[in-house]
Amino acid sequence: MGRALIVVDVQKDFCEGGSVPVKGGAGRAAAIAGLLRETDGEYDYVVATRDHHIDPGPHFSDRPDYRDSFPVHCVVGTEGGEFHPDFAPAVAAGAVDEVFFKGARSASKSGFEGFTADGTPLADWLRARDVGGVDVVGIATDHCVRATALDGAKEGFAVRVLLDYTAGVAADTTATALDDLRGAGVALTGTPVVLA
C-alpha cells in the first residue's frame, strides 16, 4: 500500500501577520516546502487541506476562546485564506496532487472533513489510490493537525505526525494533543515547534 503526505492548513491567516497567527507558522511553511523538495518521490501522493469558511456559525466569534471559537479567518475569497507564499509555489508547481477544502459552514478542524472541488472526501480519495499510511504536517499541532491525525487513525490509516514540520499554538494544548495522538496509536517523530 502507498503512503501520502497530508499538509494541513498552511495558510496566511494561520501564520505571522494573519488573523489567527501561530508563532513559527511561516517558518513551518518554508520547512514544508523544503520537505517536498527533499522527499521528491518518497510519497506516492501529497495532498493539502485548506480552511475554506463561508459561514461556520459559532466557530467565528467576537469573544473567541481559541479552542472552539476564533476570530474571523480563512474566509473564501480573502487573502488570508490563501496558502502561505513560502508554500504556495509548491502547490502551483504541481508538488501537491489534490487540495481538500473544509469548514465552509462548520467548525471543521480535521482534513478528513474536507472535500475536493468535486466533492470527494479525503479518506475516499486516499483509499481509491490504495494509500494505507499517511504522514501529517502543518498548522496547528494542537488543533487541525491533531484532529486530522486522530481522524486518519480512526479511518484505519497508519498515521505518523512529523513534528519538525508542525507549529503549535501553546505548550499546554500541544502537550495534551501529543498525549491524545500517542493514545490513539499515532507515531510521532521530531520535536514540536511551540513559540507562544
Cβ–Cβ < 8 Å for 103, 52? yes
Residues 6+ apart with CB under 8 A from 91: 48, 83, 99
Q: Which of 9, 51, 135, 142 is catalytic?
A: 9
Phi, psi of 30, rounded to the nearest 5 degrees: -65, -40
Phi, psi of 126, rounded to the nearest 5 degrees: -65, -45
SS3 141: helix
Q: Is 74 a catalytic residue?
A: no
Q: Which of 12, 51, 74, 102 is catalytic?
A: 102
Strand partners, 133: 3, 158
Residue with cell 463561508: 54
SS3 154: helix
- Look up residue 70 and give its amino acid: F
Strand partners, 51: 102
Q: How far, in Å, CA of 87 to CA of 30, rounded?
A: 6
Q: Which of 12, 15, 135, 144 is catalytic?
A: 144
Q: Is 102 a catalytic residue?
A: yes
Q: Is 15 a catalytic residue?
A: no
The residues assigned a catalytic role are 9, 102, 144
